[in-house]
Amino acid sequence: MIQGNLIFLLIIYVASLFLISWLVSRRQQSEDFLIAGAISLLLSWPMIYVISGGRNPNRFIGSIITSTLGLIGALVFLGLEPTAAIVIILFGPIGLLYSGWKIKKAGNCIPS
């Protein structure tokens, strides 16, 4: 299952997103709802993975990273529009394809 320090990092991540959304969208209440919806969409695919019994933390983190990149791209190219949710939904499962690379240690290698 997901380790305790990863859950701690997720809590810090959500708190920082909340702070950013509060600072960015202080103009209108409708923008607050759009940012709150975007944050909940960021965590939708990773949480579905955890609830379904996913055990690889690399896939969980990869899904959060690709969802965040989708949010940033949607805000840059589309602005604060409801259609930006489609980009976030499409980028979330891409991170679930990442399973992590295993680094092989070179044993008994003597540099020449």
Residue numbers of the chain with a pLDDT score lower than 50: 103, 109, 111-112
Instruction: Tell me the whole-structure pTM to 2 decimals.
Output: 0.65
Per-residue pLDDT, 107: 53
Contact 2, 60 (CB under 8 A): yes
Spatial distance between the Cα atoms of 39 and 41, rounded to a whole number of angstroms: 5
pLDDT digits (tens, 9 = 90+) for 45-62: 888 888 888 778 788 888
